[in-house]
Amino acid sequence: MSPTVDLFSYAQNFPGWTGTKLAQLLQEAALVAVRSRRGHGSILQSDVDDVVDCLTVGPKRVGIELGHQGQCRRATTEVGTAMTSYLLKRYEDAKVESCECISIIPRGQSLSQTVFHRLDDESYIFECRPQLLHRLQYVYYVLLGGRAAEEVIYGRDTSRASVSYHADASWLARKILTMWCFFFGTLTKNARTEELIRGMYERTVSLQWRHHAALLKTIKVLLDKKEISGEQIEYILNQYPA
């Protein structure tokens, strides 16, 4: 196995996986390495990532290829979601999951996907109630990032590419409001929901506009390569500051 393979990150990002499941992961990665590189003597990070995608999302879908417009929409949505997490960390020191990779290669039932790094266990187990509420709000920003990026690039003509993220964001908004009422007293729920959604969405769109050049560059790179890492997104943000 190549020394560049970070086994700790897999163990952290998949806490429910047993030792047997992790062993299966490496066995499958070894088979991928043998099939893809004759005579190569080690398992690379890319081999393990391919197997992780296959086990968690599904195998690559053969015979299904989006047209250029569809790929652009998918790339915009996924990049907007991932980039929002990095921007929240930069501007607000938010404790939120960062992007590990983005792919617009159809797998399983998904046409594109963004994979996030899991935080350490203490972030989920020992979080106090106000901190939990704040982190849920940051996650809500991230879920709105895809739709916000579409609005920045295409105007109000947003597509169904961001529908799944928007549905998750709506569910999370209701959860935040429920927790807010429980922790800090009752509020007028309907009015508060509208205020919360509008304010957070406008904030997310503002972040995307501030880094419009980085957003466009990242989308272009993703369209060219089909898959990019979180490190590449961070590099582009550094090269194209606000």
Q: Kindly state the percentage of the chain with pLDDT values over 70.
A: 71
| Domains defined for the chain, CATH in brackets | 7-56 (no CATH), 68-239 (1.20.58.760)
Does residue 236 have a pLDDT over 90? yes
For the cut 80, the answer to whether the pLDDT of residue 69 exceeds it is yes
When pLDDT is averaged across residues 10-15 and rounded to a whole number, the result is 71
- For 188-233, what is each residue's pLDDT tens digit? 555 566 676 778 888 889 999 999 999 999 999 999 999 898 899 9
Helix axes 68-92 and 129-154, enclosed angle (nearest 10)? 140
The fraction of the chain above a pLDDT of 90, given in percent, is: 18
Give residue 235's pLDDT: 94
Residue-level pLDDT at 161: 66
**For 96-119, what is the mean pLDDT?**
80
Q: What is the pLDDT of residue 228?
A: 92
Those residues whose C-beta lies under 8 Å from the C-beta of residue 148, and which sit 6 or more positions away, are: 80, 84, 201, 204, 205, 207, 208
Average pLDDT in the chain = 78
Residue-wise over 80-119: b if at least 16 C-beta within 10 A, else e?
Answer: bbbbbbbbbeeeeebebbbbbbbbbbbbeeebbbbbbeeb
| pTM value > 0.85 | no
pLDDT band at 32 (very low <50, low <70, confident <90, very high): confident
Res 238: pLDDT? 93
Apex 50 CA angle, 163 and 234, nearest 5: 65
Nearest to 25 by CA among 3, 56, 4: 56
Give the pLDDT confidence of 139-178 residue by residue, as tens digits.
Answer: 778 888 888 999 999 887 777 666 667 677 777 667 666 7
pLDDT at residue 128 in the model: 64
What local confidence, expressed as pLDDT, does residue 92 receive?
A: 80
